[in-house]
Every structure is written in structure tokens, then in C-alpha cells.
């Protein structure tokens, strides 16, 4: 159980020529690529389910809720798959609320995070009856209070506090819980803001929340952050706040890209469960990457090989518009040949986009490849398709869900018509 279908595949792929290197569950990736074309995202349903079940089992010692962070992979099919397992969702926009509702979640399955929720988004989430608004500033709190009172409702709120802990993630852009960042209410202001929240008739203060960063392999920042959240809970209770229900510790659990140890759910649970259980609050976790990261690969074909200034280039049909992470965060994604030829070589693997920053890997020693070979870009299930764009007027790739020996195209490849759907050639001028 739990052994990632594609993580195992990746390890095997590292040993060039090993059988099974080019499979997702029981599907041969070369055959799948012929059927759906490239580039294409492929997700293993079994891996996602295994990850969810491992985490849920590990957290069993505390009253808890797993709210999948939709931003990691917002495919409706993935959302529905997780809903069937009992997950809730963590959303950050009206669009994600719409997706969650379409995938069958109800308002009570939703926590709404995000530093810049608009008036419309807050109103829509109130209409949907979300479980919790994770509020990130006093200004947002006032806005929510006003909207709630205007419609004679009371908004359930958790204050997202910046626990101001030191967090180590592969890139500074994925740290959120350090002092001075845009996220959350500064720790030393949280009690005052809570004091004001309890005075607001449109607000019901139900909990506290943090999210310290993403791809956090260490557990001590969680421990330290929990300690700070619980200090705040104690202070709030002293203050007479008796209605707290939720302790939301955010997401951030790590997966394997290169050779990192993924977060061990049991070790994570040992860090958060005892304290959560002792607090009498319901623990909320918001994992995104942990559930889907290692479940997905991006399939891409080698278009051309070329040599320039002593560098060996592999030019693929997937580019930074399809998978932004290498370019944007200098992120490592393991790349293997679906059918390794037995040799290795060192390449820059680059896409067709007209930017020097368009690469999947630089100076990478990997399976030697030829034109026409299929490449498997691993650990692409999280923050892959969702960060894809149409830059260079490139249609976004399809998303394919695999389960055992069957597959489903859960999102079609975009067409050229899709690219221009919302545009007009001739301006229809108007005057205000």
C-alpha cells in the first residue's frame, strides 16, 4: 500500500532499461501517448487514493478533517475522486469554489483561504455556506462582517495567523509562514484582531489557522507553528472565547522530486495529533501536493536533438507553458525515457517556447534519447497543469486519469478554436 505507483516507476526508471519504467499502473505509457498525443498529463487514481488513505489513517488519533488544497490540481475528476474518499477542500478563489461544487462538494466541505478574497467571492462563499473562512487580515475581517450582516448571516471564521517560524523549502516563493510575508495576520497582532472579531455580529470566531509553506520536508516548523497557534488558543480562551472548534495547520507536506524523503504521514501525525487532541479542537489539514504530486507525470516527445556551444540539447514538445515549475522555481523534475536505450547522457531538456528560460531540466544526466522518444517527466501531478498557460498560443495539454488497465481523458486537449474563443477580430467599440 502507499507505495506510489509512479514513484516506484521513477526509481525503476533511474536504473536504465528496467522493466516497467514506462508504465502508469497497468497502462503502457508509450501506448497511451499514441492514443492521446503529447504533451499530456497522466494521473494515477490508485496513487491518489493510497496517499489519502495513508494520511487519514495516520491522523486517526485526533478528530480531524482533510481538506484537499484544490490549487495543486483542480481537475474535476481528481476532486470527485477525493470527495468519494471523504475529503473536504481548501479553496482560494471563486473559481475553485465553482469547481468544488461541480465536483459534488457542499458548502460544509469547504474552507476558504487566500489573502485577497473579493467582495463577490466572500458573498458567494457565504451563499454556499462554507465551513470556514480563513481570514488573513483585519481589513478582510471587516469586509466579511459587513457582507454577512447585510444579509443577516454570521460568517464562521478562523484567523490565519503568521506563526513566524523558520521554514526551509526548495524555493523562497513557496515559504509563507515567515515574519513579514504577505500571508496571515502578524503573530503579535493576532490576539487584538481576535478581540475585535468577537465583537463583530457578522463574525463567529471558530478557529485559528496557519500555512507555513509548501514542500516542507522538516517537521519542526509544524511543531513550532502548532505551539504558537495553541498559545493563541489558550489566550483566546482566557479571554472568554469558548466557541473555538478548529485548529487548521495548513498544507505543505512534501513529496519526492529528486531524492527527498517525502513527508512520512505517521511522523507528521506524531507532530500534530497529540497537541490537537489535547486542545479539544478538530484538526484541519490542507494537503495539496502530498495527495497528487507523485501521482502524475507529464508525457512529452523528443522533437529534435541539437548541439550548440558545447551543450547537448533535447528539444521536447512540452515547454514552460505546460510545466512552469522548472523555469519558475528552478524545480527539479526527474525525467526518464519511457523505453530507455541503456546509455546515459547529459542534456539541457528544453521546450519549444521562445524564451531562454524555457526548460524542463538543465545539465541533466539522464537516459540517452533520440528524436521521437517518449519522455516521462515525473512528480508532475501537483502545480503542473494548473499552472499551465497558453503562452506562444499553445493549447494546453489533456489530463488523463488512469486506474488499473483503463484510462479516461478527463480534460480534452485544447484546440486552436479554444484559444480564440473569447476574442473578437474587429473591436465592437463602445462609449461609456
Given 72, 122, 302, 338, the residue binding ligand LLP (CB under 6 A): 72
Does position 316 interact with ligand LLP (CB under 6 A)? The reply is no
Nearest Cα residue to 360 out of 387, 400, 380, 333: 333
Q: Is residue 248 a contact point for ligand LLP (CB under 6 A)?
A: no
Helices 76-85 & 45-58 angle (0-180, nearest 10): 40
Identify the DSSP state of 253: B
For ligand LLP, the closer CB: 220 or 412: 220
Choose, by CB under 6 A, the member of 286, 322, 373, 399 that binds ligand LLP: 286
What is the Cα–Cα distance from 315 to 319, expressed in whole angstroms? Answer: 9
| Closer residue to ligand LLP in complex, CB, 313/391 | 391
Pick the closer one to ligand LLP by CB: 163 or 288: 288
Angstrom distance (rounded) from CA 155 to CA 167: 31
Among 7, 74, 113, 137, binds ligand LLP (CB under 6 A): 113
- C-beta of 4 vs 251, nearer to ligand LLP: 251
* DSSP secondary structure code for residue 426 in this structure: S
The set of cell numbers assigned to 183 is: 500571508
Which are the contacts of 84, defined by CB distance < 8 A and separation ≥ 6? none
Binding part of the chain for ligand LLP, among 140-148, 227-235, 282-290, 313-321 by CB under 6 A, reads 282-290
Asked if 396 is part of the footprint of ligand LLP (rule: CB under 6 A), the reply reads no
Among 290, 347, 359, 407, binds ligand LLP (CB under 6 A): 290
Please state the closest distance from residue 89 (CB atom) to ligand LLP, in A: 10
Grid cell 486519469 in the structure block, residue? 401
CA–CA separation, 378 vs 264, rounded Å? 20
Sign of CA dihedral 187, 193, 194, 195: positive
Residues recognised as catalytic? 354
Rounded Cα distance, 163 and 281, in Å? 18
- What Å distances lie between residue 6 and 46, 173, 254, 388, 411, CA to CA? 10, 27, 16, 21, 20
Q: Which of residues 64, 206, 228, 325 is near ligand LLP by CB under 6 A? A: 325
| Residue in 25, 50, 90, 96 binding ligand LLP, rule: CB under 6 A | 90
Quick one: 162 or 316, whose CB is closer to ligand LLP? 162
Binding residue (CB under 6 A) for ligand LLP from 252, 262, 351, 397: 252
Three-state DSSP at 102 gives helix
Alpha-carbon gap, residue 100 to 27, rounded angstroms: 29
Give the H or E element holding residue 411: strand 406-411
How many residues touch ligand LLP (CB under 6 A)? 22
Closest CA to 318 of 49, 122, 38: 38
Q: Which of 94, 207, 288, 398 binds ligand LLP (CB under 6 A)?
A: 288
- Whose Cβ is closer to ligand LLP: residue 115's or residue 198's? 115
Q: Per-residue string for binding with ligand LLP, 211-240, x by CB under 6 A? A: x--xx-------------------------
Of residues 72 and 77, the one with the C-beta less far from ligand LLP: 72
The reply to whether 381 sits near ligand LLP by the rule CB under 6 A is: no
SS3 label, residue 397: coil
Site for ligand LLP in 163-222 (CB under 6 A): 174, 211, 214-215
Both ends of the chain: CA-CA distance in Å? 62
Give the three-class secondary structure for 243.
coil
Q: How far is the CB of 348 from ligand LLP (least distance, A)?
A: 21
- Residue 397 sits in the site that holds ligand LLP (CB under 6 A): no
Binding site for ligand LLP (CB under 6 A): 69, 71-72, 90, 113, 174, 211, 214-215, 250-253, 286-290, 325, 329, 382-383
Amino acid at each position: 500500500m502507499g507505495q506510489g505507483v509512479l514513484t516506484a516507476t521513477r526509481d525503476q526508471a533511474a536504473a536504465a532499461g528496467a522493466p516497467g519504467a514506462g508504465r502508469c499502473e497497468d497502462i503502457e505509457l508509450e501506448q497511451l501517448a499514441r492514443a492521446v498525443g503529447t504533451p499530456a498529463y497522466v494521473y494515477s487514481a490508485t496513487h491518489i487514493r493510497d496517499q489519502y488513505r495513508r494520511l487519514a489513517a495516520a491522523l486517526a488519533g485526533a478528530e480531524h478533517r482533510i481538506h484537499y488544497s484544490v490549487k495543486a490540481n483542480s481537475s474535476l475528476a481528481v476532486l470527485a475522486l477525493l470527495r468519494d474518499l471523504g475529503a473536504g477542500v481548501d479553496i482560494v478563489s471563486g473559481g475553485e469554489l465553482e469547481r468544488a461544487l461541480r465536483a459534488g462538494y457542499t458548502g460544509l466541505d469547504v474552507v476558504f483561504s487566500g489573502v485577497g478574497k473579493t467582495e463577490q467571492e466572500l458573498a458567494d462563499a457565504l451563499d454556499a455556506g462554507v465551513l470556514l473562512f480563513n481570514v488573513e487580515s483585519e481589513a478582510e475581517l471587516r469586509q466579511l462582517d459587513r457582507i454577512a450582516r447585510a444579509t443577516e448571516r454570521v460568517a464562521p471564521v478562523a484567523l490565519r495567523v503568521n506563526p513566524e517560524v523558520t521554514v526551509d523549502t526548495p524555493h523562497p516563493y513557496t515559504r509563507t509562514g515567515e515574519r513579514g510575508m504577505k500571508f496571515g495576520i502578524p503573530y503579535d497582532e493576532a490576539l487584538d484582531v481576535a478581540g475585535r472579531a468577537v465583537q463583530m455580529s457578522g463574525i463567529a470566531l471558530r478557529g485559528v489557522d496557519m500555512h507555513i509553506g509548501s514542500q516542507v520536508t522538516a517537521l519542526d516548523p509544524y511543531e513550532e507553528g502548532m505551539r504558537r497557534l495553541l498559545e493563541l488558543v489558550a489566550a483566546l480562551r482566557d479571554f472568554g472565547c469558548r466557541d473555538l472548534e478548529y485548529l487548521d495547520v495548513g498544507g505543505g507536506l512534501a513529496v519526492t522530486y529528486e531524492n527527498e524523503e517525502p513527508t512520512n504521514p505517521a511522523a507528521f501525525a506524531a507532530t500534530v495529533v497529540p497537541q490537537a487532541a489535547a486542545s479539544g479542537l478538530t484538526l484541519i489539514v490542507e494537503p495539496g501536493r502530498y495527495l497528487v504530486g507523485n501521482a502524475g507525470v507529464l508525457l512529452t516527445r523528443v522533437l529534435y536533438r541539437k548541439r550548440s556551444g558545447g551543450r547537448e540539447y533535447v528539444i521536447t514538445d512540452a515547454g514552460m507553458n505546460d510545466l512552469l515549475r522548472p523555469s519558475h522555481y528552478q524545480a527539479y523534475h526527474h525525467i526518464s525515457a519511457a523505453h530507455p536505450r541503456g546509455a546515459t547522457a547529459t542534456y539541457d531538456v528544453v521546450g519549444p517556447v521562445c524564451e531562454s528560460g524555457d526548460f524542463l531540466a538543465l545539465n541533466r544526466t539522464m537516459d540517452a534519447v533520440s528524436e521521437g522518444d517518449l519522455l516521462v517527466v515525473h512528480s508532475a501531478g501537483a502545480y503542473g497543469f494548473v499552472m499551465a498557460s497558453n503562452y506562444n498560443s499553445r493549447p494546453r495539454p489533456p489530463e488523463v486519469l488512469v486506474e488499473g488497465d483503463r484510462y479516461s481523458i478527463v480534460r480534452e486537449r485544447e484546440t486552436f478554436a479554444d484559444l480564440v474563443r473569447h476574442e473578437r477580430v474587429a473591436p465592437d467599440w463602445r462609449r461609456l
